[in-house]
Structure 1
Amino acid sequence: MKISVIIPMYNEEENVLKTLQTVEAVLTDFNENYEILVVDDGSQDNTTPLVKEYASTNSQIILLEHPVNMGMGRALITGFEYSSGDVVVTLDADLSYDPLYIPKLIETLDSAAVDIVIGSQYMEGGKTESIPFHRLFISKLANKIVGYALTGDISTVTGILRAYRREVLDSIELESPGTEINPEILSKANAVGYKIKEIPVVLKGREYGESKVKIKSTTVSHLLFTFYEKPMMLFGIVGLTLCVIGIVSALYLFYLYLIGSLDPTRPLMLFMVVTILAGNSDIDIRIRCNPDKPFKTRNISSSKGK
């Protein structure tokens, strides 16, 4: 069995050497038939020269370069296309997840007879350490919201620490350029019928450098992904919002009635009726409808670049 480990990097000069040394040591002890694919996503610091220098002493380390920053999703897709392993592991560049989890992920693939194994900090037994409160709160909320849009009881849907069987990646077409690629993979793998399992891990705050995840854009992209997966959720949210506005308007009108200053001809009366009716209609649509969304698949066995 050959193992491919894909590590996207963007301005990670502080972490390059430690990350490559640690991952290399873990893989050498576990299975010497491996490759480490570093996808430099348009770094503007010394990430590329450091990777090149380190790779000059180990032919199993492969550097793939993007001319400009294209996002985590595009970096992972590039890694998937150029990897040759029977098992593909994805890992972040700052060692937020300990590379020692790599053997556990791969062993779980076989022992549990599944197709994808996720390192989950939010399942029972998993935990987080030294993560800023606001980032942890947003991360947990995003996983709850996006997880609701996916089938299966998955606690961590946005994390990068995973192991895939090669056939999973060869049978789905990925499109997301950003961090939403991680839930996209799970959504499409679920639809095909692949089995997914989580194992508990510890997620730590980065030791060196700054996080490259932009909270606002990531949150928006995850919300958009959720609405794309389950568009009826949007109707439900809109409907609930309109109902709340209508109820508040009704309470205000009732207050005006009690003090004797209610004017039945005021536009607020019509506004209250319209918002409540519209809100109920959207919620009714959300309850009654559950459309299936088609997705693309592909077979890249004859077109994968090297």
Structure 2
Amino acid sequence: MTERSPFPPAAPPPRPVSPGLYLVATPIGNLRDMTLRALDVLAAADLVLAEDTRVSAKLLQAYGLKAKLERCDDHASARAAEGAVQRIAEGQVVALVSDAGTPMVSDPGFVVARAVVEAGLPVHPIPGASSLLAALNLAALPSDRVLFAGFLPPKSGARRTMLAELKPGRQTLVLFESGPRLADSLADMAEVLGDRPAAVTRELTKLHEECVRGTLAELAANPRCQAPKGEIVVVIGPGAVEATSEADADAALREALTRLPPGEAASEVARAFDLNRKALYRRALELKEAG
């Protein structure tokens, strides 16, 4: 009996790449995480905008691709945006890549995409590797409601202020951090957010991929979290649900009623505080009638 291959005989044929801006996700470590569609777009691109052209040149070389590369970092994004709009208007294909992962997640691609959209020209996402999603997969923490907060400020005072702003939300937090600041950041997180369950992920998809799980206080004291090397993503679970007072619910309803009709206001507060929507709707009608 002939053993069947687990792979299909051929991938679907590539589609023509039409003019526009393509936001192309690239591997965050393992080069085999590049998608076939991403390769199609890069092969067809008249121009590839790159956060670091040296990094992107190595990526293209690994797949035997040649393309015109231009820098698109914080200092060059305005110029890159102007050039991209002109090229796409002339019928060209422009690809935007970050050094690793999905463009526009904590990198300067936003300026280019916004300019192309404002010019009424097409923008296409080419999804793929993402350290944010990979970290969520590894953390084994609730992922039904997630807030990505990017990088925390480097100084403790500003960092604690930002953490205090993030504390009230009942969602899993995802943050980027650098190795030298990690232990101090974890200590501030434990102090401000409370001792929530968390995970520190490092070197995702690479040879030395690592995920250290524990409470924030445990992680802050863990030797494996003392200035580790590599790219780091911290995932923090939601805090404990605190009982909502009637006064707090009324205050939230009054604020919501300034923007929304009673039904939508009740739904918004119900989601935010995990309360019964029908009871909130009745209370919203009372508050609205009372003025």
TM-score by length of 2: 0.31
TM-score by length of 1: 0.30
Give the structure with the larger helix fraction. 1
- Say which structure, 1 or 2, has more relative contact order (CA 8 Å, 6+ apart): 1
